[in-house]
Amino acid sequence: MSSTTSGAYDDLLEHVTQLSYVEDAGGLLRWDQQVMMPEGGTPARSKQQSALSTLHHDLLTDDELAGYLDDLDEASLDPGQQAVVREVRREHERARKVPRDLVERISEATSEALPVWEQAREDDDFESYAPVLEELVDLRREYAQAIDPDRDPYEVLFEEFEPYLGLDTAERVLEELRAELPDLIDAVAESDVTQPRPFDGSYDVDDQEELVRAALDELGFDWDRGRLDTSAHPFTSGTQFDARITTRFDPEKPLDSLSSTIHEFGHATYALGLPDDEYGTPLGEARDLTVHESQSRLWENHVGRSRAFWEFFLPTVEEHFGVETTPEAAYGAANRVYDDNLIRVEADELTYHMHILVRFEIERDLIAGDLDVDEVPSVWNDRMEEYLGIRPDTDAEGCLQDIHWTNGTFGYFPTYSLGSVLAAQLYDAADGEIGPIEEGIRAGEFDDLRTWMTENVHSHGRRYTTDDLVREATGEDYTAEYFIEYVTEKYGDLYDL
């Protein structure tokens, strides 16, 4: 690399790291708003968030950055440098099409929407939330139109969260799940097997928190670089130096807080597995949300809902909850397929994807203008009845349950299913190299699995596109085959199908 090229690359890297630091500061403010901020702090926080979002946009669209990218157009770069330039260029060119004032308006609107959604959810009052949702839909349509007026706006928004697999891949995978899962769900419902319910009853929230902290200890959560808090909707935020998990507790549903915490641990272990020395560059950032969700779903389902996990962890549960049961009963309870579950984050592995289909179809129609905001509750309830055979009695347990639209993240939901599919493929690849993984889980040894994921997924940052990363990690193209095989075998065994 010539001295001129080296100088341009160094300048680009310095610019990009400043950009990343601003984005991470905004992430901390968002975490604080959902976890620590007093209720009256929204007016100031929305302005702070808007200022940081605008600064981030200015840095990303700066003419100097465009100049560095131009200088590197024909440069001879190593693969890592090429990946950095590719990722920066993609985000730069996309952001340059978005007006600065639109970035400000979106940031303020999402910050101001949070307390409205929280109150509407608490009061079961969609009508008070509808104007906010309508504004967010309009803003996101405007955003997509600015980036590419000639393309499907939902496709443009989907690429915010998964830029490389393509909406066509998402739709194909969702179609496969829609084709395969309902028959399996129906077979489970018709089965004579009834899974036990050893954890029915009410469990103190403090006891639940002690239990999930014990689970995080066993899984290997790095408390020196992480923390656990509560929020209205579980989420994880942070970097390789500071990964923050949130969960929530319901006295009547103790397994839900455990599974949601393990889910968020998966996100956190991805963040903490990113290379320290690449912090601030694309090589030190996660490869978008299909891969991120693969990590959370892998730890939640393939580990936390495995028979081996319950053989290992049940004594700890019994100690904290004062119950006595068997590992087989606990395993069955953790994997019971619900015929009456309205809440996505509490759903079993099978019906979960029907929840995703409901949200995907509604948000796609909202962005397309084929569905009015005031129609959302009735359409939501109709599709829940169609796909899951249940109908919410309230909007709080229906269309107000998720935070994503309040954050303006239209296009996010498909990545949950895409990630679940990838989790099965990654788990199979890891099991082939270091397995049998279940033996380690049964012994309470999780280091080998974490290390494999770090070496094959986390350590690459954004060096590879999503499809290339899948091939690097598994030796195969991205496929739903492993997920379908996994759930068919697992639930066939559980329900004697």
Q: Which of 264, 285, 293, 300 is catalytic?
A: 264
- Which alpha helices (DSSP H) does 96-204 contain, by range? 100-123, 126-147, 153-158, 167-190
Closest CA to 13 of 51, 69, 97, 93: 69
Count CB-CB contacts under 10 A for residue 323: 16
264 is known as an active-site residue: yes
CA distance 53 to 313: 43
Closest CA to 113 of 24, 45, 55: 45
Closest CA to 260 of 227, 225, 236, 226: 236
Closest CA to 354 of 178, 167, 488: 178
CA-based end-to-end distance of the chain: 61
Q: Can the peptide bond before residue 392 be classed as cis, meaning omega within 30 degrees of 0?
A: no
In sequence order, what are the residues at sequence separation of 6 or more whose Cβ sits closer than 8 angstroms to the Cβ of residue 304?
215, 258, 259, 262, 263, 334
In contact, 19 and 56? CB cutoff 8 Å: yes
**CA dihedral sign, ordered 85, 86, 88, 93:** positive
Q: What is the DSSP letter of 460?
A: G
Q: For every residue of 10-54, which 3-state class applies, written as one string?
A: HHHHHHHHHHHHHHHHHHHHHHHHHHCCCHHHHHHHHHHHHHHHH
In sequence order, what are the residues at sequence separation of 6 or more whose Cβ sits closer than 8 angstroms to the Cβ of residue 391?
381, 384, 385
CA distance 261 to 227: 12
Q: Active-site positions?
A: 264
